[in-house]
């Protein structure tokens, strides 16, 4: 069994970043965020899958690019640009085009290895993700659990469909909860920096912002606790690399929370 190698993840991350490595884009856009934990999950899943070695890296790259296409499009402002703010307008336009470019690249990568099946699978998951996004966006949420389920789908569906396809589903529950937790942490951080938090604004339509934040803050450690037990339930001598990485991350997150609590 090949254990995770942090250099490999960096190598994949570098390849992905190169796609947006353009001096014009850099004038207006931040470096694209490449979620290393998503690469970690994909790599682990594929290392345990019966898939041709030469296809594995392409599957990771293609899935990440498609995910990033969707994430980049989420950065597009909801309302029209101001006619006078040219920089803001250019940023919006480029986020759209870069997202479209990433989706084109995902398709091209898989087309070049002649894997129409995975094109179909990822396309299907993109279709589903957008359906879920519309539910949240139109606030058609009837409970907190419903919201959490929708967020789980949005955050992990692409990788889940890959894990289904290759038949390595042992990490699915961990993955769903991991990315849900990360999303909630992200939304909480946005709010605390006085930036727009989409989830906080949706939930605040039914409750006060203060209460919503407290709710999110309480959910995070509960999900983290659930994650720890799921991780510990993984078979011994399997998935050791990702187990170690995730437990370390959880400890770091827990420490950060304690510091925040101490600082009041």
Partner 1 sequence: MKLSSTYKFLTDDLNKIELELLETIQAEHPVLRAASTQLLKAGGKRIRPVFVLLSAKLGEYNFEQIKHVAVALELMHMASLVHDDVIDDANIRRGKHTVNAKWDNRVAMYTGDYIFARSLEILAKIDNPKAHQQLSNTIVELCLGEIEQLKDQYNVDQNLRTYLRRIKRKTALLIASSCRLGAIVSNLEPKYEKALFRYGYYLGMSYQIIDDILDFTASEKELGKPAGSDLKQGNITLPVLYQLSDPNFKEHLEHAFQRANIDNENLEAIIKIIKESPSIKQAYQLSENYLQKAEKELSIFPVNQATVALKDIAKYIGSRTF
Buried b (16+ CB within 10 A) or exposed e, 40-55: bbbbbbbbbbebeeeb
3-state secondary structure 85-105: CHHHHHHHHHHHHHHHHHHHH
Q: Is 244 in the site for partner 1 (CB under 8 A)?
A: no
Q: Which is nearer to partner 1, 111 or 144 (CB)?
A: 111
**Count of residues interacting with partner 1 (CB under 8 A):** 49
Tell me if 114 contacts partner 1 by CB under 8 A.
yes
With binding defined as CB under 8 A, does residue 139 bind partner 1? no
* Region of 32-40, 72-80, 184-192, 237-245 interacting with partner 1 (CB under 8 A): 72-80
CB atoms within 10 A of CB 232: 10
Cα 126 from Cα 159, distance rounded (Å): 11
Query: Quick one: 22 or 238, whose CB is closer to partner 1?
Result: 22
Q: Are 132 and 154 in contact (CB under 8 A)?
A: yes
86 token code pair? 């040219």
In three-state secondary structure terms, 115 is: coil
Residue from 97, 144, 255, 260 in contact with partner 1 (CB under 8 A): 97
CB of 115 to partner 1, least distance (A): 9
Q: Which residues bind partner 1 (CB under 8 A)?
A: 22, 24-25, 69-70, 73-74, 76-81, 83, 86, 90, 92-94, 96-101, 103-105, 107-108, 110-112, 114, 116-117, 119-120, 123-124, 126-127, 130-131, 133-135, 137-138
């Amino acid at each position: 069994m090949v254990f995770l190698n942090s250099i490999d993840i960096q190598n994949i991350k570098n390849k992905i970043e190169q796609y947006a490595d353009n001096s014009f884009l850099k004038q207006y856009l931040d470096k694209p965020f490449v979620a290393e934990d998503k690469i970690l999950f994909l790599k682990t899943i594929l290392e345990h899958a019966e898939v041709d070695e030469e296809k594995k890296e392409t599957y990771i790259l293609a899935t990440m690019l498609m995910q990033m296409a969707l994430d980049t499009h989420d950065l597009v402002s909801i309302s029209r640009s101001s006619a006078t703010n040219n920089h803001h307008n250019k940023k919006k336009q480029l986020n759209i085009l870069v997202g479209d470019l990433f989706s084109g690249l995902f398709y091209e990568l898989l087309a070049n290895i002649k894997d129409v099946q995975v094109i179909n699978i990822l396309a299907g998951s993109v279709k589903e993700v957008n359906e879920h996004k519309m539910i949240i966006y139109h606030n058609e949420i009837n409970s907190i659990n419903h919201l959490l389920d929708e967020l789980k789908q949005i955050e992990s569906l692409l990788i889940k469909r890959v894990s289904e396809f290759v038949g390595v589903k042992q990490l699915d529950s961990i993955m769903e909860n991991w990315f849900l937790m990360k999303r909630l942490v992200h939304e909480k951080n946005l709010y605390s920096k006085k930036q727009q938090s989409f989830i906080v604004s949706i939930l605040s339509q039914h409750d006060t912002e203060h209460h919503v934040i407290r709710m999110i803050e309480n959910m995070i450690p509960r999900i983290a606790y659930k994650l720890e037990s799921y991780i510990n339930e993984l078979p011994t001598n399997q998935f050791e690399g990702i187990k170690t990485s995730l437990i370390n991350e959880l400890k770091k997150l827990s420490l950060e929370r304690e510091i925040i609590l101490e600082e009041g």
